[in-house]
Structure 1
């Protein structure tokens, strides 16, 4: 049984994401079984949503993907906020503007 909520390597899960996982013991156990980097990717993906409806939809999809056995969000370029590795060439080109400022 998970007692403390586990976050990612860079990001901490917001209250709405925590509540969605804590409302279902199996979802919470699946979340706890992820690596810190896997949790970080899901959190970053949810946090990247610009609108509340998109955020809610991503949280629901995240739960579905956990139940499907996925360890990271599908079709996500990856967290550009990590400091332990440089962004990939694709992330650099698409997600980071020419001034070096990260767009997310």
Structure 2
């Protein structure tokens, strides 16, 4: 297996996510086959959780979605932390404005 871990464009994967993705060679190969933006979306999606149980489910779902050939997390509006791209109207209304309340 590779010793260097590929992260996203904005986010770095935490140890628990890295451990799950390094759990077998094929999972890691699928992860490494994603674009940096694709990896970033999965990392942001996992990091966005508040509850440990939800985080564990999202990490496991990340593995499943990689095996299904997904390049981004299903049903995720996208990372709002990117500085190279303004948030969409939907992201602004739902993700950003909702958190400000």
Tell me, yes or no, whether TM beats 0.5: yes
RMSD over equivalenced CA pairs, Å:
1.4
> Structure 1, unaligned stretches of length 5 or more?
none
Q: TM-score normalised to the size of structure 1?
A: 0.91
- Residue 76 (structure 2) aligns with: 76
What SS does the aligned partner of 2:44 have?
helix
Runs of 4+ that moved beyond 4 A: none
Q: How many Å apart are 1:81 and its aligned residue?
A: 0.2
- Maintained 8 Å contact 1:2/1:29: no
Q: How many Å apart are 1:96 and its aligned residue?
A: 1.4
- Name the structure with the higher helix share: 2
Q: TM-score normalised to the size of structure 2?
A: 0.94
What SS does the aligned partner of 1:49 have?
coil
> Structure 2, unaligned stretches of length 5 or more?
none
